[in-house]
Amino acid sequence: MNELTPTAAAKTAPVLKQALPPDRYGWWWGTGRRKTAVARIRLKPGTGKFEITCTRKKSKQINEYFSEIRDRSDCVAPLKVSGLEGKMDVICRCNGGGFMGQAQSIRLAVARALKGYDPALEGALRDAGFLTRDPREVERKKYGQAGARRRFQFSKR
């Protein structure tokens, strides 16, 4: 057999994805975006701490930062799907957007960081829709109109 042609066993073997190595401090990073909200996540195995950094010196727990249950559950949903809730420490930095946009950007960032931590989780995260960025944005206001679609009131006389 020629050296350049692969064997039949090599053609049928599944390609296993390698886990991304952590940074030099042991963290996996993820970035998520939704509307105008951006979230940057650091993730590593730990005690299950989930905190959101407000300023350099001040951070809040997820229960303090998000008052809505919907937003809190959005943030931890990728950890629940992967079965790692309570086993990973997450530190998050958010800016822009509102609370719901920030929560959904955190969800995307956590899912991306988990995919880097363990590529075997990608299928479950993708099936749940956590690795797909929501492309919807606010439509711009047009000139000659009151808003994006709203027109000024029409007066016949």
Q: Is the pLDDT of residue 108 over 90?
A: yes
Q: Is the pLDDT of residue 144 over 60?
A: yes
What is the rounded average pLDDT for all residues in the chain? 90
Question: How does residue 12 score in pLDDT terms, banded at 50, 70 and 90?
Answer: low
The CA–CA distances, whole Å, from 82 to 57, 58, 98, 119 equal: 31, 29, 27, 11
Q: How far apart are CA 135 and CA 98, in angstroms?
A: 16
Q: Is the pLDDT of residue 16 over 90?
A: no
- What's the whole-model pTM score? 0.85
Domains and CATH numbers, the chain: 26-127 (3.30.230.10)
Give the tens place of pLDDT for each residue, 32-87.
999 999 999 999 999 999 999 988 899 999 999 999 999 999 999 999 999 999 99
* DSSP characters over 91-102: EEEEESS-HHHH
Look at the chain and count its residues: 157
Q: How far apart are CA 12 and CA 121, in angstroms?
A: 22
pLDDT score for 67: 94
- Residue matched to tokens 């727990």: 61
pLDDT score for 56: 87
Grouping H, G, I as helix, E, B as strand and the rest as coil, residue 88 is strand
Q: How far apart are CA 30 and CA 44, in angstroms?
A: 11
